Amino acid sequence: MVTLRAHAKINLTLDVIGKRDNGYHDVEMIMQQIDLYDVVTVSLIENSNEINLTCSDEFLPTDQMNIAYRAAVLMQESYNLRCGFKIHIEKNIPIAAGLAGGSTNAAAVIKAINRLCHLNLSLETMKTIGFKLGADVPFCIQGNCAIARGLGELLEPIKGLEHTFIVLIKPNFGVSTQEIYQNLNWQNIKEHPNTTAMVAALAEDNRYRVNHLLCNVLETVTFERYPKVHMLKQFVKRYGPDGILMSGSGPTIFAIYKNYDRAKHAVKSLKKHFPQTYLVMTHNVESL
């Protein structure tokens, strides 16, 4: 049995710089893990190729619709594994939130099976497998903080945002990443993130610069299609965050606080309106 923490992520920047003939978008974004995590436990089922997935959240599918389930099947097929797996996900990351909750579960399953079956796969090999499941899975396997390019699979590790309080606020609805990208006209984007400047600010631990360089080009689409997400961001600004941004395609808004007491006060107040409000910290450790 292997039990792993599957960490969520936020986007400090998210830029779309092109669109391929197949409809997929080229991105350049900085992703940062946080210490909000699901707990994924994987154990072997001998003499069977069955995948048995259970989850603490009854709304999460437990079949091929679940990316963690598909990760186990992919590992079986890729390495001709003659065993099955029992997977249990203790869910803490909200669903369809722009926090890579599904992708990080899949990443944990790949890493757990690598250990259980003594495959000795390298980090790069696991990332390649993960990319077959989703663009965010390679980052979730690698962890910490990185620039993601291409479709999200080309990762450059960088110094992350360390020892920082993050308040996450998710409204009571989800957003489809596919829907947001389909409605994005990338050539009409007016304000792009400055990735180079953000990398430098993180390297120097210049919090003022980091907070002012936060930028996500998907906000324009999500705010238009889901006005409540825009209203949420404006509402959270009342609580004086040092920096604020939407993560991924939304709908989660994250607010950065240097001061713990201010962050705690914001969470206490915001929870009255939005039950899915969390106070977490950034997460930067070795991924293996």
Domain ranges of the chain: 2-157, 165-281
d(CA 276, CA 170): 5
Rg over alpha carbons for the chain, rounded to the nearest Å, is 19
Residue 26: is it exposed, middle or buried by C-beta count within 10 angstroms (0-12/13-18/19+)?
middle
In single-letter form, the type of residue at position 45 comes to I
- Among 15, 38, 136, 242, the active-site one is 136
What element of type H or E holds 64? none
Instruction: Give pTM, 2 decimals.
Output: 0.93
Asked about 136 being catalytic, the answer comes back as: yes
In single-letter form, the type of residue at position 111 comes to K
Asked about 38 being catalytic, the answer comes back as: no
- Among 9, 127, 170, 233, the active-site one is 9
Q: Look at the domain 2-157 and name its fold.
A: Ribosomal Protein S5; domain 2 (3.30.230)
Q: What does the pLDDT profile of the chain (288 residues) look like in tens digits?
A: 999 999 999 999 999 998 888 878 899 999 999 999 999 999 999 989 999 999 999 989 999 999 999 999 999 999 999 999 999 999 999 998 999 999 999 999 999 999 999 999 999 999 999 999 999 999 999 999 999 999 999 999 999 999 999 999 999 999 988 899 999 988 888 899 999 999 999 999 999 999 999 999 999 999 999 999 999 999 999 999 999 999 999 999 999 999 999 999 999 999 999 999 999 999 887 543
d(CA 252, CA 96): 9
Q: Does domain 165-281 have CATH number 3.30.70.890?
A: yes
**Cβ neighbours for 237, distance < 8 A, ≥ 6 positions apart:** 244
